[in-house]
Amino acid sequence: MRTDVNTSYNRLAGQSVERLAALSDGVFAVAMTLLVLDLHGPATEVVRCEYDLWHAVVALSPRLLTYLMSFLTLGIFWVGQQTQLNHLARSDRHLTWIHIAFLFAVTITPFSIMLLAEFIRYRLALLVYWINVLLLGAVLYATWGYTVRARLVKDDIPADAPAAICRRIVIGQALYALGASLCVFNTYLSIGFIVLIQINFAIAPRFRPPSRP
Amino acid sequence: MRTDVNTSYNRLAGQSVERLAALSDGVFAVAMTLLVLDLHGPATEVVRCEYDLWHAVVALSPRLLTYLMSFLTLGIFWVGQQTQLNHLARSDRHLTWIHIAFLFAVTITPFSIMLLAEFIRYRLALLVYWINVLLLGAVLYATWGYTVRARLVKDDIPADAPAAICRRIVIGQALYALGASLCVFNTYLSIGFIVLIQINFAIAPRFRPPSRP
Amino acid sequence: MRTDVNTSYNRLAGQSVERLAALSDGVFAVAMTLLVLDLHGPATEVVRCEYDLWHAVVALSPRLLTYLMSFLTLGIFWVGQQTQLNHLARSDRHLTWIHIAFLFAVTITPFSIMLLAEFIRYRLALLVYWINVLLLGAVLYATWGYTVRARLVKDDIPADAPAAICRRIVIGQALYALGASLCVFNTYLSIGFIVLIQINFAIAPRFRPPSRP
Amino acid sequence: MRTDVNTSYNRLAGQSVERLAALSDGVFAVAMTLLVLDLHGPATEVVRCEYDLWHAVVALSPRLLTYLMSFLTLGIFWVGQQTQLNHLARSDRHLTWIHIAFLFAVTITPFSIMLLAEFIRYRLALLVYWINVLLLGAVLYATWGYTVRARLVKDDIPADAPAAICRRIVIGQALYALGASLCVFNTYLSIGFIVLIQINFAIAPRFRPPSRP
């Protein structure tokens, strides 16, 4: 009997794409703003002249860079998730739960990036960050796989879109893995490479403006 | 006279299901992300080599597990509330207030789970967590009861849905109560059982993919 | 020339009721969840047996009550604002700014309630809380006044609704002022009275269920 | 081949104006509420009578003013962004990323204002705040420029609106720059001037109520 109840409930549960999108936007917004709590100004007793303050602000710049990198990472995956959800005709409880797992990985991101900022020369910190990004990518890939398999996609989606979304994730993850593996030589090399990948994803320089009439 | 004013105002108040959903998504998003603030990396002066950092990260894993459990708990009740709100044709001020009470229980969850994480061998900590979950379930049950009684449900809801939603909450709460009562033997046994229930709710392994043409 | 630019821009600005509602829901959600950060479990070294933990949890109960009162206050004003926004046909830049002022008062609420919790026997703490509530009420009243004057209300609003909304705020504020003035005798008396008013607003016991066919 | 994949993915990505608005509202809501965490009541052991508490609350008033200024700044740019998004027919991935850059500047605002509050007599603190505001303005200007160039604007926008939005940003930034440059004489003069500009933007006193029939 319990199976029947569950099946019946499960058919009803988690159908709202809008609510899933709203929860995601909330989680992303909080995660994106959390790290700013780590940006503390210098103690007032340390600063006696403009020069002291200049020094203290400059000393904050690595944290600002980390914060920027965190923002880029979360931005890339927000765009990725948004792109998927935009093409959903409806949701079901399974898709909802895969997305909740995705949001779990999202909320871990501020932590893993903070760890990287504190221990920037340690390979393990880089590894933790990379596992985080891998998790985000893997769950996003699983989401799309389930979406297509369960036929939750809108009818008007371009024919090549499902494949394009999959390839994008695979290529992105391959580049991240390559960047992470560079830590064999040097963690700074890894981070530089990953930041370049992310800026490339954000700016997408190959794009030519649409020539609509 | 005051009664009339109130009645008139109360007829106007709290009619928006969308706003209720948006407030709920915001509260859930903040509650889901709050606990990550508790995940602090080790102090930089403690860590002198990769091995130290590995040790420190491994030492964080119980907190990560607690965080995962918190996420599961909130995820389950988010799906539960979303399922109810999806079937609402409209809201009224009473339903709005029962949902605000529900959100109160939601915001308490990060605290009760943190207490459990800190005092994992204490039965009282488990009891506090269980009371929290019981409160969430009871208010959700009351919400649905009022929704059906006040005829706020959409017309197109499947005939067996209202009963399925009620039974799901009752069965869930019965399992939680059983799990909590296992603390007579051992709190770890309780927690293990509860985590298994929750993973079962999340994954719903009995589900067979819909065989639509 | 500058006047013209401003007038032109001002006609365009702040027209979205949906965005105003979404920003409000976000601010309320964060404000409602912030105070839970103040609920800290006891230090692990203090607790050696179940009885110690029981003691520590009981010692937290005043904070939990304060948190509940904060939730009630914010809940009442959230319902109040939602009721107004629901009846808006559109917004303009002035209304938007009055609502931003309202949200400012909302974000102050966790602070003023925390102050009250810490200094519950001090009249000044009660006065600060009351000024906060007065500000919330005054801005909400001003909002509705402007809404009606600028004809931003939907056409299908019941004829007696605008007056009912105004009277509700005035009666509420009169009761709050009466409650606050009881601090001449005793702050506990004040708080007790205010909590009773708020529970009354939340439960609205005079309500009879709608007898629709 | 990679170029093709990217182009294909980039055509799909970031099309939802609603999601962009929801993420923005979340980020603004958290940023607006964050600074209240800095408002701490006095320690209980310092306060022995009503007079002590009065003293402590008065001592908090500069922070409250800073908080108000932060709210004004964020409010102005929220209204600015909302006005732009309201006139969007659709979004694309480039616009999405320019807005994510805008949100980055938004989350920096609580930090730069806190720095200004702590070091109110230091020109560098004022400069940091001004760079923050300049960044917000510049990205908002770039957003609108791209929106118009890529023809993402709705068809029903008034003919003079695009120019009005641009001029408003330029005039606003010119006034901010003038205010910031006053720090050559005195930082208080600068801050006073900037607060007056912001209050002017919020209240828009030149506005005459619409005389619709």
Which pLDDT tens digit goes with each residue over D96-144?
999 999 999 999 998 898 888 888 889 999 999 999 999 999 999 999 9
CA dihedral B7, B13, B15, B17 (to 10 degrees): -140
Quick one: which of C130, C204, C211 has its CA closest to C174?
C130
Lowest mean pLDDT among B147-151, B204-208, C176-180, D22-26: B204-208
**What value does the mean pLDDT take over residues B55-83?**
87
**What value does the mean pLDDT take over residues B83-88?**
87
Residue from B27, B36, B208 whose CB has the most chain A CBs within 10 Å, to mutate: B36
Structure tokens at A60: 């904050």
Quick one: which of C211, C208, C142 has its CA closest to C173?
C142
Which of residues B54 and A35 earns the better pLDDT score?
B54
**What value does the mean pLDDT take over residues D194-200?**
88
Question: Do residues B36 and A112 touch, judged by C-beta distance below 8 A?
Answer: no
Among C68, C164, C202, the residue with its CB nearest the CB of B9 is C164
Which of residues A191 and C13 earns the better pLDDT score?
A191
pLDDT band at D211 (very low <50, low <70, confident <90, very high): very low
Q: Which 23-82 residues of chain A touch chain C by CB within 8 A? A: 26, 29
User: How far is the alpha carbon of D83 from chain C, nearest alpha carbon, in Å?
Assistant: 5
Q: Which 81-120 residues of chain A touch chain B by CB within 8 A? A: 93-94, 96-97, 100, 103-104, 107-108, 110-111, 114-115, 118-119
Taking the C-alpha atoms of residue A37 and residue A44, their distance in angstroms, rounded to an integer, is 18
Residue C178 forms contact with B (CB below 8 Å): no
- Across all residues in chain B, what is the average pLDDT? 85
Q: What is the largest CA-CA distance in chain C?
A: 75
**What value does the mean pLDDT take over residues D152-164?**
83
- Across all residues in chain D, what is the average pLDDT? 85
pLDDT of the residue at C114: 86
pLDDT of the residue at C2: 41
Determine whether the interchain pair B86/A9 forms a contact, defined as Cβ–Cβ distance below 8 Å.
Answer: no
- % of chain D at pLDDT higher than 70: 92
Which pLDDT tens digit goes with each residue over B133-163?
999 999 999 999 998 888 888 888 888 888 8
- For residue D212, pLDDT over 80 is answered with no
pLDDT of the residue at D3: 44
pLDDT of the residue at D46: 81
pLDDT of the residue at B211: 46
**What value does the mean pLDDT take over residues D1-5?**
43
- Helix, strand, coil shares of chain B, percent, nearest 5, are 75, 0, 20
- For residue C57, pLDDT over 70 is answered with yes
Residue of C nearest to A26 (CA): C26
pLDDT of the residue at A174: 92
Among A37, A168, A202, the residue with its CB nearest the CB of D9 is A168
Taking contacts as CB-CB distances below 8 angstroms, the residues of chain A near B29 are 23, 25-27, 29-30
Taking contacts as CB-CB distances below 8 angstroms, the residues of chain A near D33 are none
Which pLDDT tens digit goes with each residue over C16-56?
888 999 999 999 999 998 878 777 778 878 888 888 889 88
Which pLDDT tens digit goes with each residue over C83-141?
888 888 888 888 999 999 999 999 999 889 888 888 888 999 999 999 999 999 999 99
Taking the C-alpha atoms of residue B188 and residue B185, their distance in angstroms, rounded to an integer, is 9
pLDDT of the residue at C212: 45
- % of chain A at pLDDT higher than 90: 34
Structure tokens at B84: 């109810």
pLDDT of the residue at B212: 45
- What are the angstrom distances between the C-alpha of D73 and each of C96, D5, D66, D106, D110? 14, 41, 10, 10, 10
pLDDT of the residue at B205: 64
Quick one: which of D183, A121, C23 has its CA closest to B23?
C23
- For residue A201, pLDDT over 70 is answered with yes
pLDDT of the residue at A24: 94
pLDDT of the residue at B67: 84
- For residue D1, pLDDT over 50 is answered with no
Structure tokens at C153: 């209300």
Determine whether the interchain pair C53/B124 forms a contact, defined as Cβ–Cβ distance below 8 Å.
Answer: yes
pLDDT band at D7 (very low <50, low <70, confident <90, very high): low
Residue from B28, B30, B33, B34 whose CB has the most chain D CBs within 10 Å, to mutate: B30
Determine whether the interchain pair B80/A123 forms a contact, defined as Cβ–Cβ distance below 8 Å.
Answer: no
Which chains are adjacent to chain C, needing at least 3 Cβ pairs under 8 Å? A, B, D
Helix (H, G, I), strand (E, B), or coil: what is residue C38? helix
pLDDT of the residue at B163: 86
- % of chain B at pLDDT higher than 90: 35
**What value does the mean pLDDT take over residues C50-79?**
87
- For residue B208, pLDDT over 50 is answered with no
Taking contacts as CB-CB distances below 8 angstroms, the residues of chain D near B29 are 26
**What value does the mean pLDDT take over residues A133-161?**
88
Taking contacts as CB-CB distances below 8 angstroms, the residues of chain D near C97 are 75, 79, 202-204
pLDDT of the residue at D121: 87
Query: C92: left (phi > 0), else alpha (psi -120 to 50), else beta?
Result: beta
- For residue D6, pLDDT over 60 is answered with no
pLDDT of the residue at B7: 60
Residues, chain B, total?
213
pLDDT of the residue at A7: 59
**What value does the mean pLDDT take over residues D47-51?**
85
- For residue B1, pLDDT over 70 is answered with no
Listed in sequence order, the residues at least 6 apart from A139 whose beta carbon sits closer than 8 Å to its beta carbon are A98, A101, A102, A105
Question: Do residues A71 and A197 touch, judged by C-beta distance below 8 A?
Answer: no
- Across all residues in chain A, what is the average pLDDT? 85
pLDDT of the residue at A177: 93
Residue A174 forms contact with D (CB below 8 Å): no
Helix (H, G, I), strand (E, B), or coil: what is residue B40? coil
Axis-axis angle for helices C50-86, C17-34 (nearest 10) = 160
- For residue D208, pLDDT over 60 is answered with no
Residue from A34, A76, A83 whose CB has the most chain D CBs within 10 Å, to mutate: A83
- For residue B22, pLDDT over 80 is answered with yes
Residue B137 forms contact with C (CB below 8 Å): no
Question: Do residues D147 and D91 touch, judged by C-beta distance below 8 A?
Answer: no
Helix (H, G, I), strand (E, B), or coil: what is residue B44? coil
- For residue A47, pLDDT over 70 is answered with yes
Taking contacts as CB-CB distances below 8 angstroms, the residues of chain D near A57 are 115, 124, 128
pLDDT of the residue at A60: 84
Residue of D nearest to B29 (CA): D26
pLDDT of the residue at C208: 47
Taking the C-alpha atoms of residue D50 and residue A96, their distance in angstroms, rounded to an integer, is 53
Which pLDDT tens digit goes with each residue over A12-26?
777 788 899 999 999
Axis-axis angle for helices C50-86, C187-203 (nearest 10) = 60
- For residue A190, pLDDT over 70 is answered with yes
pLDDT of the residue at A121: 87
Determine whether the interchain pair C30/D28 forms a contact, defined as Cβ–Cβ distance below 8 Å.
Answer: no
pLDDT of the residue at B6: 54
- For residue D173, pLDDT over 90 is answered with yes
Taking the C-alpha atoms of residue A73 and residue A194, their distance in angstroms, rounded to an integer, is 10
CB pairs under 8 A between B and C: 126
| Burial readout B1-20 (b: 16 or more C-beta within 10 A, e: otherwise) | eeeebbebbbbbbbbbbbbb
